Amino acid sequence: MKKLEIILIAGAVIGLLLALLNVPLSSLIVSLFCVALGILYFYLGFALFNGIPLRRIFDPESYKGIGSWRIATAVGTGIALSILTIGFMFAVLSYPMANTLLIAGLVSTAVIFILAIAGSAREKNIFYRDIIIRCVVFLAITILFLCIPENIFEKL
* Residue 118: partners with Cβ closer than 8 Å, 6 or more residues away: none
pLDDT in tens, 11-69: 999 999 998 888 899 999 999 999 999 999 999 999 999 888 889 998 888 888 888 88
Confidence grade of residue 136 (pLDDT, cut at 50, 70, 90): very high
Q: Where are the domains of the chain?
A: 2-153
pLDDT band (50, 70, 90) for residue 143 = very high
139 contacts: CB under 8 Å, gap ≥ 6: 106, 109, 110, 113
The pTM of this model reads: 0.90
Whether residue 95 contacts residue 62, with contact meaning beta carbons closer than 8 Å, is answered with no
For the chain, how long is the longest CA-to-CA vector?
55
Counting Cβ atoms within 10 Å, is residue 49 exposed (0-12), middle (13-18) or buried (19+)?
buried
| Banded pLDDT at 156 (limits 50, 70, 90) | very low
Determine whether 146 is exposed, middle or buried from the number of CB atoms within 10 Å of its CB (0-12, 13-18, 19+). middle
The average confidence (pLDDT) of the chain is: 91
Are 77 and 92 in contact by the 8 Å Cβ rule? The answer is: no
CA–CA distances in Å: residue 108 to residues 18, 75, 81, 111, 119: 29, 12, 9, 5, 16
